[in-house]
Structure 1
Amino acid sequence: MPEDYDAIIVGSGSNGLAAAIHLQQKGLRTAVYEQASEPGGATRTEQLTLPGYQHDVGSAILPMGVASPFFRDLPLNNYGLKWIYPDIPYAHPLKDGTGVACYKDLDKTADQLGKDRDSYLKIFQPLVNNWDKIDKDLLGPLGIPENPIDFLKFGLKALPSAKMLVNHFFKNERSKIFFYGSAAHSTLPLTNLASASFGLVLTTMAHRYGWPFPEGGAKNFTNSLVSFYKSLGGELYLNVLVKHVEELPRAKAYLFDVTPKQLLKIKGTNFPSLYRKRMASYKYGAGVFKMDWALSEPIPFTSAECRRSGTVHIGFSCEEIEESEGHIHHKKMTDTPYVLVAQHSIFDPTRAPVGKHTAWAYCHVPNGSIKDFSQIIENQIERAAPGFKDTILARSTMNTVQLQQWNPNLIGGDINGGRQDITQLFTRPIISISPYSTPDPKIYICSSSTPPGGGVHGMCGYNAAKAVLKDHFNG
């Protein structure tokens, strides 16, 4: 009996859409099925506080949206996408009221770091210059790199912990805390091996591409992907909860943009017990407690650099950030957590009514925590921006359970599709030559639970699509 489609994708997050687009570009007939009433996974925008205030519920700043080897080649600007580039990609406030800014200009950034200037350039100049020689290998499964020398040079810097890297290269506290701010995106203890890699990649992105976001909300990135996909002949079906493979039309391949925990619940898959056992042992990382605000004015950061930055990393000493991120993995929290803030409306007036503003933030918390951390987050922002609380018109909060209810891929509030430590960075979801394939030859996994992990880059989906083409279509 002939198939209805060549491939069916379950889940319309950035990875699911990337897989669908690539397969459609190669001439296959595909369809995407999505449980929610709108596409996008964690890349969606809603009015969470007051009418007229647009808040990104999940992903908010999308450097990989422009840096991804797959997304950057798509004509998304022809499908409604407009990128906004903040004056400063990100900044970090310091105890004395000043701040350190990551400018797109590498030298301008290094000039702030005093005697650490040359060390900063030594780390990042080669990465910025040679990024296009290693990006495809970094953003894919383990294999033989195209440029092994450049890849090895990156690996020697990336393998240590963030703490080891800053203590080796930097003398000033401001330089160390500046790097800690980007490395803490990892949701790992900063003493963990390979935690430096996250700071290296994200800072390189800032210098090479900037840290932009879509005008009007992250949903417009999703909308542009969907529009392009449909222009290729792709089909999207919403409000479809898939519990059994047989509920779907016939296809040669099924790609699931879900985590291992969810995939194992799908009936109709032909997985041996050993594979199920290995997938069941997959580890999820720390969760987040998410907040959004409607504000009467921009966040009044004391630091001029922070007032001009799209993203602000808050943590007032290396010890404070290190303690905050380390405690989480022992199911504990401090009263002074690392807080990540995004402020879209100072660059994008479509986010709020005239003269008003929005803010977006989260802190890392133990996976599955239902505690309310709103006061703790607001206290941290207030330390960097006295008077912040007086600007609040309304707030929205989401704990880890609420985040998972909103998007089932966010297991326990984990926004990365699983822990991204040295044991799971390239071996997710299991150790395999083809991590996107499963023992069932028709079933593939294309979520951030596969390499290269979390982030709005689409490379998990793109890599999974390549595996499907190779296995079933001589691609």
Structure 2
Amino acid sequence: MTRADVAVVGSGPNGLAAAVTMARAGLSVHVHEQAATVGGGLRGEALFDSEIWHDVCAAVHPMAAASAFFREFDLAARGVALLQPPITYAHPLDGDAAAFAYHDLDRTCDRLGPDGYRWRQLMAPLVRHSAGVTDFLLSGQRSLPHDFAVPLLLGPRLLGHYLGVNGLRTEAARALLTGVAAHAMGRLPSLPAGAIALLLGHLAHAAGWPLPQGGSVRIAKALADDLRAHGGMVHTGHRVTDLAELDAPVIMLDTTPRGLLALAGDRLPPRYRRALDRFHYGPGAAKADLLVSEPIPWACPEVGRAGTVHLGGIRAAMLAAENAAARGEAGEEPFVLVVDPAVTDPGRAVGGRRPVWAYAHVPNGDIRDPVPLITRRIERYAPGFADTVIAARGVPAAEYQTYNPNYPGGDIGAGAVTLTQSVFRPVPAWNPYRTPLPGVYLCSASTPPGPSVHGMCGHLAARAALRREFNMPTAPHLGPKDGTIVAERPRRTS
């Protein structure tokens, strides 16, 4: 292989964010991806119909609109339209009842009736400080916040969520917030799940929960195009099995700790290896991709205007289902997330046919076919849905790591989101990205700030490597207007 300043293993959003950051600093960067195409969780396929595109993993991207990395990278200026759904998310209840989070906070509060005032108290201050809240929670928690009001806002709200959903009293409002907390894919209630609920919950009324027009792959393409524009190279279709294959003084690994162990072998110190072995993986996601003949026939028609739909029933039912999955118990009524992309992006529907994207939260390594499980859950709130299904493909949690090795047992978060692992990912360290091997860094969602398509794990890891390895304390410009590369390449300092 041609020698480079930096080799990146894995081309998920964090691997690409690390590569873009390094290339923007004037370094030669080579990305190595075992799949035929780049993107990791951003990839898509035409599974059943050449005209219908399915997002194989991620579909909705609040962090692509909100994170510091993507705010500066500016997807919109690169032709990636982030489309806002008519309703940010919905939570059906039994019968034709449902709760709704609109982009408009006032409308949301009006629909929540007696809990509207409490929802406003919970969310409005976070919306006013949205950039500060997002940057603090996606910072890795190793620096002072830019907005010092943020910890004061988050502290009592996190405690209130952990103790009792911040005073919400109606089943609709309690379900609306608990459904967002369930994105943590772990035990409920918990402080990390509360942080996710507050982050995603307030973003529903701020930057929103958009879908990229044309599918998630558009984000991956924008990142890869920028990398190539700044001299980077992408090698696909080859799995790197040993660090010795990489001819670069600095290596960025968009892998889990298991991936690092497999690549480094006995070169890692025994104590560090044992710490990586103790890294805990969370419950799994079981995915169903469906091709349907019409919009989902929700019992409450307004649910059909939501970009994301949470199926979990009332708060007590969600707590029971998520805690059972965390204990490894396979239930018949799991928490399910559903997206009909054509609701937000009508071009995703062709000739009446449209894709439906759905995840079920199940125990890690669950082997069940998720299609009947998910279909039954949708049918409960949308009678007749099964009759609209033209074709379906299920990926059990146990098989998801075949698609992406960063999803062991179906853990799409690349590591359990526990209190300890929310900060100490993958091991307790001031610089969690640096490994004991000279020049080798982890940059995956197994590092802070953890899962989601925000690019911050890769960007922060690249910043750490630039400071230590190339004596570059200042982050490179990421915006699209400056297409230049620095005239003189940085030199390694160690």
Question: What TM-score range do you get, normalising by the shorter chain?
Answer: over 0.9
Q: Say whether residues 1:403 and 2:400 are aligned partners.
A: yes
Structure 2: distance between partners of 1:360 and 1:123: 30
Structure 2: distance between partners of 1:297 and 1:316: 24
1:449 corresponds to which of 446, 466, 472: 446
1:213 corresponds to which of 187, 211, 214: 211
Structure 1: distance between partners of 2:145 and 2:399: 42
1:325 corresponds to which of 322, 325, 334: 322
Residue 11 of structure 1 corresponds to: 10
Structure 1: distance between partners of 2:65 and 2:102: 17
Question: More deviation in 223-232 or 425-434?
Answer: 223-232
Q: Say whether residues 1:340 and 2:350 are aligned partners.
A: no
Question: More deviation in 77-86 or 367-376?
Answer: 77-86
Q: Deviations over 1:375-422 (max 9, x none)?
A: 221111111111111111111100012211011111100000100011
Q: What does residue range 60-459 of structure 1 map to in structure 2 within 5 Å?
A: 60-147=59-146, 149-157=148-156, 159-160=158-159, 162=161, 164-166=163-165, 168-249=166-247, 251-267=248-264, 270-459=267-456
* Amino acid across the alignment from 1:242: V
> Quick check: 1:287–1:367 contact (8 Å CA) kept in 2?
yes
Structure 2: distance between partners of 1:334 and 1:124: 33
Decide whether aligned partners of structure 1 residues 146 and 316 sit closer, same or farther in structure 2, where only a CA change above 3 A counts: closer
TM norm structure 2: 0.92
Question: More deviation in 218-227 or 77-86?
Answer: 77-86
Q: Which secondary structure does the structure 2 equivalent of 1:264 belong to?
A: helix
Q: Which secondary structure does the structure 2 equivalent of 1:119 belong to?
A: helix
Residue 459 of structure 2 corresponds to: 462
Decide whether aligned partners of structure 1 residues 363 and 276 sit closer, same or farther in structure 2, where only a CA change above 3 A counts: same
Decide whether aligned partners of structure 1 residues 165 and 131 sit closer, same or farther in structure 2, where only a CA change above 3 A counts: farther
Structure 2: distance between partners of 1:369 and 1:396: 16
Shift of 1:332: 1.0
Question: More deviation in 142-151 or 416-425?
Answer: 142-151
Q: Which secondary structure does the structure 2 equivalent of 1:425 belong to?
A: helix
* Amino acid across the alignment from 1:194: P
Structure 1: distance between partners of 2:266 and 2:73: 33
* Amino acid across the alignment from 1:247: E
Structure 2: distance between partners of 1:277 and 1:160: 33
Runs of 4 or more above 6 Å deviation? none
Shift of 1:232: 1.6
- What is the aligned length? 471
Structure 1: distance between partners of 2:33 and 2:4: 16
Shift of 1:269: 7.4
Taking every aligned residue pair, what percent have the same amino acid on both sides?
A: 38
Structure 1: distance between partners of 2:133 and 2:291: 41
Decide whether aligned partners of structure 1 residues 268 and 328 sit closer, same or farther in structure 2, where only a CA change above 3 A counts: closer
> Quick check: 2:140–2:449 contact (8 Å CA) kept in 1?
yes
> Quick check: 1:50–1:394 contact (8 Å CA) kept in 2?
no
Residue 42 of structure 2 corresponds to: 43
> Quick check: 1:289–1:399 contact (8 Å CA) kept in 2?
yes
Q: Which secondary structure does the structure 2 equivalent of 1:152 belong to?
A: helix
Decide whether aligned partners of structure 1 residues 147 and 128 sit closer, same or farther in structure 2, where only a CA change above 3 A counts: same
Structure 1: distance between partners of 2:290 and 2:14: 28
Question: More deviation in 189-198 or 390-399?
Answer: 189-198
Decide whether aligned partners of structure 1 residues 193 and 268 sit closer, same or farther in structure 2, where only a CA change above 3 A counts: closer
Decide whether aligned partners of structure 1 residues 90 and 48 sit closer, same or farther in structure 2, where only a CA change above 3 A counts: same
Decide whether aligned partners of structure 1 residues 423 and 267 sit closer, same or farther in structure 2, where only a CA change above 3 A counts: closer
Shift of 1:195: 1.9
Structure 2: distance between partners of 1:158 and 1:415: 27
Structure 2: distance between partners of 1:364 and 1:10: 28
Q: Which runs of 5+ in 2 are unaligned?
A: 473-494
* Amino acid across the alignment from 1:221: I
Shift of 1:163: 5.4
Shift of 1:17: 0.5
Q: Which secondary structure does the structure 1 equivalent of 2:262 belong to?
A: coil
Shift of 1:147: 4.2
Structure 2: distance between partners of 1:316 and 1:406: 30
Shift of 1:333: 2.5
> Quick check: 1:43–1:219 contact (8 Å CA) kept in 2?
yes
Question: More deviation in 328-337 or 281-290?
Answer: 328-337
* Amino acid across the alignment from 2:117: D
Question: More deviation in 428-437 or 338-347?
Answer: 338-347
Structure 1: distance between partners of 2:393 and 2:49: 10
> Quick check: 1:162–1:194 contact (8 Å CA) kept in 2?
no
Shift of 1:268: 6.8
Structure 1: distance between partners of 2:186 and 2:217: 28
